[in-house]
Structure 1
Amino acid sequence: MTDQTPAPQLTVQLVEGRKSLTLALVLTFFFGPFGLLYVSALWGLLMIVLGAIVGVISLGLGLILIWPLSIMLAGILVFVGNGALKRKMEKAGQ
């Protein structure tokens, strides 16, 4: 005789993963706005365009401001993104 119990269902949930703060800071330290692409494609592209505009206008001197700004922005985006992910996971667990 055959068993009529249903097979267990496997569900796959696609969740944007946590980002490493150390990796984000290292990438932006060495690659500037291009390192932001690890954290956020939108912010990375915005900073690349802003860096290009400021770099052309100031003959490259404006990158002295863009580079550290990218590093700080990477740290902020990682904290905000990981915090939102944590809250989302806690809410889903309740």
Structure 2
Amino acid sequence: VAEALIRSGVGRLDAVDGDTVADSNINRQIVALTSTIGRYKAEVFSERAKDINPEAEVTAYNLFFNADTAQKFDFSAYDYVVDAVD
């Protein structure tokens, strides 16, 4: 979903994921490569998104969204929020 948004021209996107890439992700996640194992998925996606669209503003949040982290986000600043799992 996030990559499709970047490819369609979305100018600003925040990626939120506290997980790291594991070898078991390689068969189903676009950010999962042998070279990205152990890295935060949000950071890997941010780099990929900027390679696709250098003008896009992509912020990586290496955390899980939950009751403890919700205050870090000002939802009035977002047009859309997409919740997706792998």
Structure with greater helix percent: 1
Which structure is higher in strand share? 2
TM-score normalized by the length of structure 2: 0.30
TM value normalised by structure 1? 0.28
